[in-house]
Amino acid sequence: MRVLVTGGAGFIGSHVVDVLVEAGHTVRILDALLPAVHRVRPVLNDQAEFMVGDVTDPPTVASALDGMDAVCHQAAMVGLGVDLDDLPAYATHNDLGTAVLLAAMARRGVERLVLASSMVVYGEGGYRCAVEGPVRPGPRRTADLDAGRFEPPCPRCGRPLLSTPVTEDAPLDPRNVYAATKVAQEHLAAAWATATGGSVLALRYHNVYGPRMPRDTPYAGVAAILRSALERGEPPRVFEDGCQLRDFVHVHDVARANLAALRHDAAPGRLVAVNVGSGQPHTVGDMAHALAGAFGGPMPVVTGQYRIGDVRHVVASSDRARDLLGYQATVSFTDGMVAFARAPLRR
């Protein structure tokens, strides 16, 4: 198969390229090498063709699609950002870029798309109240966060809630700008599939970590931020009380999920969403302590600070990934964190 990987020079995209090349596919990379991520030119798989270009530029995208059978769309601006001044950049790179790509795919007759989505589309994860059953907590209130009340209460009776795995059928509830753009990407891709008869597998990545994560950038995920602090000789700073539950999944497993998605004969004319996680919840504090211990310190500091766009708990249900794609994570939390503690970061 001939596959275009947008964002193929980035953290996740470069690992996807490696897996596709190893599996015998012909790979072309399209990447704008944005300075927020690539401060030096990255070293790429020499068996893949490389094009420098922006996914928002129609002539560039049309050229990149020439001769391709499928697209693995990884290009995106990620993370919570700094403030709302980032909003136009997120909408441009994520949503306009996806729209340009989909329009070009329709003109070229490329009908297979694997879309890098994210668990952020859910907002909060799954919750159950002992009295009310499954519930959806509302946005967390600043007054509660200022007082150190980080757990969302039951929206009906106010009792404490139990975190449960979130399934792909959960309502979409984006709670920050990045999340809103990922929801828009899915909606655009679904509309494209309906209009063209193409197929879309939207892989909703949970918290991805591993080698080649960018260092010292506010747009990186929590794993890179904590690991960057250790690299600087500083204690990792853990927000809230460190008990936020996440599903940390190694980038090698995420790359394997992309390969499985490209091999799968997805239903034409529709988008199918699939969680990509490890299936094993851990707290942010767990990760910070595991990294610091493997790195050799300094140990984390729990700050009690918060970011208003963050959610409390979100953990993946991996049932659909297993049943549909035959995907199951292979890198354990312990092994992954030990390796990541000394893995080179992208400067």
Residues in the chain: 347
Catalytic residue, chosen from 127, 178, 205, 306, is 178
Answer yes or no: 306 catalytic: no
Taking the C-alpha atoms of residue 217 and residue 81, their distance in angstroms, rounded to an integer, is: 10
- Directed axis angle between helix 333-340 and helix 284-295, to 10°? 50
Question: What's at 77, amino acid-wise?
Answer: M
Tokens of 140: 């967390």
The secondary structure of 66-108 as a DSSP string is TT-SEEEE-----S--SSGGGHHHHIIIIIIHHHHHHHHHHHH
Is 119 within 8 Å of 247 (Cβ atoms)?
A: yes
- Directed axis angle between helix 284-295 and helix 222-231, to 10°? 30
Any idea of the CA torsion for 122, 29, 219, 184, to the nearest 10 degrees?
A: -30
Taking the C-alpha atoms of residue 285 and residue 292, their distance in angstroms, rounded to an integer, is: 10
| Helix boundaries (H) for 197-268 | 222-231, 251-263
Is 92 within 8 Å of 136 (Cβ atoms)?
A: no
The secondary structure of 113-153 as a DSSP string is EEEEEEGGGGSS-EEEETTTEEE---PPPHHHHHTT--SPP
Backbone angles phi, psi at 196, to 5 degrees: -110, -15
- Directed axis angle between helix 177-196 and helix 97-108, to 10°? 10
**Residues labelled as active-site residues:** 178
